[in-house]
A and B are shown apart, each in its own frame.
Chain A
């Protein structure tokens, strides 16, 4: 269970999140919507302990991660698989080396075993043929797929976190990424692996999520399912979701 309790965060004088509170189960499929700069990515970073709030508590399975040291956060982070915007691949490493990064750091697997695991992961995300390419040779969609494969190599996550996974992609590629996200989070709750996707593309959000949060000026102004979203009376949110109405 992920719990945000009255979380506030500001950069200098700019308030990013103000009194944010919500709860989420690991099997839920959630989309966090909001305009650019609304603090959506910050929420993902807070969940992983990459940033600390100015005030408030963030509980992951009952543990307040805001008081943990960097070395203690590894166990918390291993519960999640994160794919940042544009993949965040290590650009000096090939696709093979990117996916094998964690396997080399933390396992005693032989080179043959690593190669087999890397190919297996790349096959799972449908991009095995790109194993020898460098990140700059990949299209946007391929970079996202490699990033997903790399995050799966790190651990068997309980939940996937996606930061703008379809931004900058053409509709067909974006659709295939959404399909992959659904495939990775398939199954029935409470056994399935959930996801939190942060995006401003509502049309993609409705393809993968069942619960929607809307952030406006650092505050959570909407929390509900697709029906509630479509029937919202909030003018700003209505304009934001215009594409699906």
Chain B
């Protein structure tokens, strides 16, 4: 019974935070400097790892698809399949998972350290709302930076796919890019860019929530950071499925 009450109370706190944090965007004071700092950490600070991950994902996908299609004599369609897979599904999910591992864990551990070091208590004593000061800038930065990183990641993945298709699988470079151009229609771009906004919001809220609920010293900090990454990872996969389902319905695409 006590456990159930704890879970319900935690869920209530989580929902309150998930509503209060984005609403902070519209209420004074505005923490522009904090937001810019967070954007710098989340965006430019993540570019290298995103490029690295995306490049190898694009190459691996292209390699696998080329091999499968070659057996059917259809390997010239590698670009089309790689493009759709990357832009609609794998790109947003892979970048979001990487973002959760790098930025989400950083948010949880930074806020958790501030809780343990009484810095959040000091903010409250000074009359500063910790959600507005700490959570809202992180939510804004994630919502803005994750889509930008996803665009970069998608582009790099397509280049990785191109390298394998052209130089390993010996396909036509112009045909590869023509297929990529063909699949860059509204439906695919809309699908691929809707997800990162929601993923950014989800990762930042989950990570900040676990940071703010840190207790119990360094073991508690380890628990918060781990939970932030694990829960974010699971929710990214679950939301990916749900958004895909909704988008297919909204865009009138039949399965």
Contacts and interface: CB of A to CB of B under 8 A. Distances in A.
Interface in A114-131: none
Interface stretch (A14-22, A98-106, A171-179, A213-221): A98-106
B125 A48 contact: yes
Nearest to A88: B118
Nearest to B117: A88
A154 B128 contact: no
A122 to B, nearest CB: 18
B128 A105 contact: yes
B126 A154 contact: yes
A90 interface: yes
B119 A90 contact: yes
A74 interface: yes
Contacts of A192: none
B128 A45 contact: no
B242 interface: no
B119 A102 contact: no
Interface residues of A, number: 23
B127 A77 contact: yes
A50 B119 contact: no
Interface residues of B, number: 13
B127 A84 contact: no
A88 B119 contact: yes
A48 B122 CA distance: 10
Contact of B121 (A45, A89, A106): A45
Contact of A106 (B37, B124, B127): B127
Interface of B: 29, 37, 117-119, 121-122, 124-129
Interface string A57-90: 0000000000000100010011010101110111
A187 to B, nearest CB: 24
A85 to B, nearest CB: 7
B186 to A, nearest CB: 42
Contacts of A50: 121, 124-125
A91 B117 CA distance: 10
B50 to A, nearest CB: 24
User: Considering residues B117, B128, B129, which has the most beta carbons from chain A within 10 angstroms of its beta carbon?
Assistant: B117
B117 A105 contact: no
A230 to B, nearest CB: 33
Nearest to A163: B118
A102 B124 CA distance: 12
A18 B127 CA distance: 29
Contacts of A101: 126
Interface string A147-171: 0000000100000000100000000
A56 to B, nearest CB: 21
A88 B121 contact: yes
A82 B122 contact: yes
Nearest to B128: A105
Given A88-B117, A89-B119, 17 more contacts: A45-B121, A70-B124, A70-B129, A77-B124, A77-B126, A77-B127, A78-B127, A82-B121, A84-B121, A88-B121, A91-B119, A92-B37, A102-B126, A105-B126, A105-B128, A106-B126, A106-B127
